[in-house]
Amino acid sequence: DAEITQSPRHKITETGRQVTLACHQTWNHNNMFWYRQDLGHGLRLIHYSYGVQDTNKGEVSDGYSVSRSNTEDLPLTLESAASSQTSVYFCASSDGGQETQYFGPGTRLLVL
């Protein structure tokens, strides 16, 4: 069965370190998204991609970067982790048509 996976599922890091969260999908979807979920803010879009070599900034992109070198993967990098980036991170993918987004299981990140 097609799926979308994220790793690691839990991560503790220190302020200032670079962190990369992996997202891998086997749906063969062109569109991929990264969100963060925080209490009181719901889901907020960080970055998204409509295909290989395409990346776009979402509403909370500062301090984050992505690259898309193949269809299956969209890694999210925190260049210099800050305590404000402690959150749950979700990756999602979608295809054409109604563009339903299917989500990975999430990564809990704690920045100390």
Partner 1 sequence: AQKITQTQPGMFVQEKEAVTLDCTYDTSDQSYGLFWYKQPSSGEMIFLIYQGSYDEQNATEGRYSLNFQKARKSANLVISASQLGDSAMYFCAMRVFHAGNNRKLIWGLGTSLAVNP
Residues contributing to the site for partner 1 (CB under 8 A): 40-45, 48, 50, 56, 58, 88, 90, 92, 98-103, 105-106
Which H or E run contains 42?
strand 42-51
* Minimum gap (Å) between residue 9 Cβ and partner 1: 10
Q: What number of residues does the chain have?
A: 112
Tokens representing 11 are 């991560």
* Minimum gap (Å) between residue 75 Cβ and partner 1: 20
* Minimum gap (Å) between residue 107 Cβ and partner 1: 10
| Between 40 and 70, CB nearer to partner 1 | 40
Tokens representing 71 are 């269809």
| Between 18 and 26, CB nearer to partner 1 | 26
* Minimum gap (Å) between residue 104 Cβ and partner 1: 8
| Between 85 and 107, CB nearer to partner 1 | 107
Nearest to 106 by CA among 18, 30, 36, 1: 36
DSSP three-state, residue 84: helix
| Between 85 and 101, CB nearer to partner 1 | 101
Cα angle 101, 58, 17; round to 5: 105
